[in-house]
Amino acid sequence: MQLLDAPLAIVDLETTGANAAWDRITEVAVIEVESGEITGEWSTLVNPGTTIPPAIQALTGITNDMVAGAPSFGELAAGLHERLAGRVVVAHNARFDYGFLRQEFERAGIRYAARTLCTVKLSRRLYPGHARHNLDSLIARHGLQCRARHRALGDADAVCQFLRIAAAEHGAEALAVAAQQVAKQPSLPAHIDRAAIDALPESPGVYMFYGEGGAALYVGKSVNIRTRVLAHFADDLRSAREMQLAREVRHIDWQCTAGELGALLREAELVKELTPVFNRRLRRASDLCGFVQDGVSLRLAHADEIDADAVPHVHGVFRTRRAALAALRALADEYRLCLQTLGFERTHARRGPCFRHQIGRCAGVCAGRESVEMHHARLAAALGRLKTVAWPYRGPVGVVENDRGREATDVHVVHNWCYLGTARSDSELAEILEGGARPRFDLDQYKILARHMAHGGVRVMELAA
């Protein structure tokens, strides 16, 4: 069962839930393997310091009473770290187990990094003709003997049996090649320390790439910072621009958020603040503009007129004048509007039918074929499709970022579609609400917030200004 040059630690964990950021380990098992032979087995219950949900108790059979007298992970950390040192961590869905180990070691003040081998991925590579590769499927398919399903040592032993059977069926050399392909690490730029990658969290947030001299190169966001950053350094980068970015990175920084909304808002904010050279979207739009209808006239409002209070009266907010006029022309074609009458097309010295009327794209208000009132009734209908969403609350609100109904960790304070900041405590919330100057309207934040707040699953609470 010679998989890799390094010895193996076949690991399985039981936990209070699926999220390593706040769930905790309740049981850990390690089977040590060297040169294809088992050299040690070890397992223990772990006191998670929190209650185990009833559904998890029913699944694993591990109850709150069972872990009450067990050691905490902090008490086990030093010994477990020594046991795992120098070993490739093998686990079924290694991302799950490794993520929990890294989080728990970090809480104990220990930095932990290891190479991993995921037997889910290994099974997919070795047995591509099968549709399912979860542990239950492997047990049934290969006739594995599991001492106790959903208990750490029982599941770890089943994984160990799978490796033995795979080696027997495919040969040790083929298994080693497949394992090395599955466990392959991304190639990193020469100036990036592996420790910087190992420190990346597997949680939502934003990440920043910096180049020589601290120049901001790129700001990105993800629900899993580590996975997304590693993707930037994959061997199959798709474009010259992506390869150039990977070559120029010298330093990586990140900020964690409670979830996707916080990551989106922070990304939009940082891109405008840092103006990274590889971000083309979300830059500050100094040419921001939109249409305002005053009675029967229409005009283009520019950035200095578009603030939070004016937004409800603006039809469409665009990054550039060119984009705004292109949208107007598309509506004019669809609704047979006269751009000459609206003042967006030059008139001849002797006023008469516009060119668009001559080619059948204007209904003819400029030629007396219809009244101005009829024309502007169609204009109102057309502009209604561009109208921004009115702020639906009396004052500022807090958009609560939670996950699976847990206690909120972040409250995003918003007023008139302007993102004012994120609070993680009552004092931070009060500070944001008492702040003086309000930020200008930001098109990107408006789109992010309007999309998320229109979704029924978002919890919004009104705040006293």
Q: Point out the residues that are catalytic.
A: 150
CA angle, residues 189, 191, 197, in degrees to nearest 5: 70
What are residue 165's phi and psi, to 5 degrees? -65, -40
- Rounded Cα distance between 341 and 415, Å, is 37
Report the candidate in 82, 83, 47 with the shortest Cα–Cα distance to residue 65: 47
CB atoms within 10 A of CB 139: 17
User: Which helix (H) or strand (E) segment is 125 a member of?
Assistant: helix 119-126
Sheet arrangement for strand 251-256: 216-222, 205-210, 251-256
Task: Cite the DSSP H helix spans in 1-60.
Answer: 54-60
Query: Cβ distance 315 to 383 under 8 Å?
Result: yes
Query: Cβ distance 265 to 419 under 8 Å?
Result: yes
- Rounded Cα distance between 61 and 149, Å, is 10
User: Which helix (H) or strand (E) segment is 272 a member of?
Assistant: helix 260-274
Angle at which helix 94-107 crosses helix 73-84, to 10 degrees, equals 120
At a CB cut-off of 8 Å and minimum separation 6, what does 255 contact? Answer: 205, 206, 266
Residue 296 to residues 77, 344, 379, Cα–Cα distance (Å): 74, 14, 9
At a CB cut-off of 8 Å and minimum separation 6, what does 239 contact? Answer: none
Query: Cβ distance 423 to 411 under 8 Å?
Result: yes
Pairing of strands 8-15, 25-34: antiparallel
Query: Cβ distance 344 to 325 under 8 Å?
Result: yes
Task: Find tokens 């405590």 and name the residue.
Answer: 425
User: Which helix (H) or strand (E) segment is 121 a member of?
Assistant: helix 119-126
Task: Find tokens 């039918």 and name the residue.
Answer: 353
